[in-house]
Amino acid sequence: MEPLAEMVLFYVVAIGTILVVYRYSKYAFGLILGLWTYLGVMVYSSFGLDTLLQVMLYHILPLTVVNLLCFLFWDGFQSNSIHKQYRVRLGGFTIQNLQRGVSIIGSSGSGKTESVVYGLLKHLNKHQFPGVIHDYKHFEITEMAYPMFKNSKIPFHVVSFDDIHKRVNPIAPRYLPDAESVNEISRVLLENLLEQRESVAHGSSKFFNDAVEGLLGGLIWKLKTEFPEQCTLPHLMASFQYLKRDQLMAFLESDFTSKAMADAFLSGIDSERQTAGVMSTLANALKKISTERIFMALSADEVPLDINNPKTPAVIAIVNNPKYETAYSPVIATILHTITKRMSVRGRTPSFLLMEEAPTIRLLNMHRIPATLRSYDITTIYILQDKIQNDMMYGEKGSRAILSNLSYQFFGKANDPETAKYYERFFEIVKRPTRSVSKSSNWKFDTRVTKGEREVSKLRADLFFRLKQGEFIAFGDGRDRRVQFPRPNIIRKLPSPEFKSDDPKIRANYKIIHLKVQELFENRKW
């Protein structure tokens, strides 16, 4: 056989062996490096230095380069049982199973959106995932996602409350099959309207919260059963504002289920102060969302919220606005609650839930959502600026439960020492050499050097203060990698809205809803 053919055959066999070792062992790099070292020693002992140098130049060094490239860019030791649609390559780090959930934590300006989120959106679009996006920063993610998804087979819908693109109805009768679902959505809406955090109300405040929640649930149930065409949040608010106390009580008492829901409110009929307190609490809560634009956005059921149903797949971007967060976040939380409940059905299309600035909204049992949705092939992508924000919304234990259910973490620049310490605890403990020098204070000038080892975290907290924009420490499957994302060339575009914020039809719709409610109740026999 000619020397060239022998060389080619050698490289084919050697590279094939390297790939097989990487396929079946997570210690492939060290094993192969050890093999080359052993062969080098054997060649040197048998043939001398000159032969060893030739073998190193033509065989060992090229294959060491191949070994290094495999170590850096190929995660071949992982099982192929995971479908490729769940594998994502982000920089030098591979997410082996996207279903396990991703958390992205980084201070403002760390590059979360343009680095990690943009890469994930590209992957989700490539594999035709339906899903929902919470876009906190007023179209920042939506204008990145729309150019990607607009030519996709899956429709892309935008729900916003400034310019109106599509209208949704999170309390449509088809989304509320039973009393339990009505109770849940009432609680989500009220917790966000009252800006309740992790602290649980006690005593009289708990009674009032429960009474208000029951009153809200009773109204939803009555609209669902008696006026299904008008079962929307705008019609509910208009009804509550129109009905007097006695009319409201009579309306709720006309149905056994609504009466049971609102029993805490109805039982206070002999205490005018108590019923007035419950009604005024709900009135103050609803006034935040009793605006013309919110009425318009929630007055029709144009977008199916069964977004992972193979018959009606969709990507929905729900757009918040930091200027009007107090008004928009309760509505967005209600829509997201309905969507996650509708998505939680087995056998549906794999989908995703992407929550930017997640602690700005409060979802019911959020600490169980990532684990629960995973069972339904739903990926949770949870984005926040600082762990402290999550602690404020859900409490320290609740926050820890949420983040512990997300298997892949991307840690960006930290500004808070406690957050940096939280990052540090994720990484393995390693032994680092220590050296201390002690000098005698007497005239002998004795110097003593003590060497030892100390167990410390592999990555120290101070590292996270120095991370640059677009630079993240990725952690998952027991591995970590420092990743620098290049700034991508992002195409930004938005669809044309159906109604501009100053469209006269928005004000007209507001009046029409109030007039319709008056028409429903003015001829009613009480």
- Tell me which residue has tokens 């203060």: 465
SS3 of 80, please? Answer: coil
* Band of pLDDT at residue 11, cut at 50, 70 and 90: confident
pLDDT of 148 > 50? The answer is: yes
| DSSP conformation class of 127 | T
Rounded percentage of the chain residues whose pLDDT exceeds 90: 47
pLDDT at 424: 82
SS3 of 409, please? Answer: strand
Contacts of 42 (CB under 8 A, 6+ apart): none
Query: How many Å apart are CA 237 and CA 219, to the nearest integer?
Result: 9
pLDDT of 370 > 60? The answer is: yes
CA dihedral 158, 161, 165, 169 (to 10 degrees): 80
Query: Which tens digits make up the pLDDT trace of 118-134?
Result: 999 999 999 999 999 99
Contact 121, 490 (CB under 8 A): no
**CA nearest 214: which of 280, 270, 272, 282?**
282
pLDDT at 342: 92
Q: Could you state, in order of their start, the residue ranges of all structural domains in the chain? A: 3-73, 84-165+303-413+467-484, 173-294+503-522
Stretch 146-173: mean pLDDT, rounded? 94
Tell me the CA distances in angstroms from 289 to 73, 306, 436, one per residue in order: 50, 25, 64
pLDDT at 446: 67
pLDDT at 425: 80
User: Within 13 Å of residue 163, how many CA atoms lie on the same side as its CB?
Assistant: 10
Contacts of 108 (CB under 8 A, 6+ apart): 385
- Phi/psi at 258 (nearest 5 deg)? -65, -35
pLDDT of 201 > 70? The answer is: no
84-165+303-413+467-484 and 173-294+503-522 agree in CATH topology: no
* Band of pLDDT at residue 77, cut at 50, 70 and 90: very low
Stretch 155-180: mean pLDDT, rounded? 95
Fold of 84-165+303-413+467-484: Rossmann fold (3.40.50)
Q: How many residues does the chain have?
A: 526
Instruction: Mark out the alpha helices in 287-386 (DSSP H runs).
Output: 292-297, 325-343, 369-374
pLDDT at 79: 47
Query: Which tens digits make up the pLDDT trace of 17-56?
Result: 877 777 667 677 788 888 878 787 887 787 777 777 877 7
- Which residues face 447 on adjacent strands? 439
* Band of pLDDT at residue 460, cut at 50, 70 and 90: confident
Query: Which tens digits make up the pLDDT trace of 259-318?
Result: 999 998 888 777 778 888 889 999 999 999 999 999 999 999 999 999 999 999 999 999
Tell me the CA distances in angstroms from 364 to 87, 152, 184, 409, 434, one per residue in order: 29, 32, 8, 23, 49
* Band of pLDDT at residue 381, cut at 50, 70 and 90: very high
Tokens at 495, concatenated? 């669809």
User: Taking CA 189 as the corner, what is the angle to CA 377 and CA 271, rounded to the nearest 5 degrees?
Assistant: 145
Tell me the CA distances in angstroms from 230 to 3, 36, 169, 242, one per residue in order: 85, 76, 10, 15
pLDDT at 430: 57
Query: If 0-12 CB within 10 Å is exposed, 13-18 middle and 19+ buried, where does residue 199 land?
Result: exposed
Give the β-pairing of 315-319 and 156-159. Answer: parallel
Tell me the CA distances in angstroms from 431 to 427, 436, 461, 476, one per residue in order: 13, 16, 16, 22
Stretch 458-483: mean pLDDT, rounded? 84
Query: If 0-12 CB within 10 Å is exposed, 13-18 middle and 19+ buried, where does residue 13 land?
Result: exposed
Q: What integer best gives the mean pLDDT of the chain?
A: 86
At what angle are helices 203-226 and 179-193 packed, to 10 degrees?
A: 130
Tokens at 285, concatenated? 């809560």
- The segment with the largest mean pLDDT, out of 94-98, 206-210, 270-274, 449-453, is 94-98
CATH number attached to the domain at 173-294+503-522:
1.10.8
SS3 of 474, please? Answer: strand
- Phi/psi at 122 (nearest 5 deg)? -60, -40
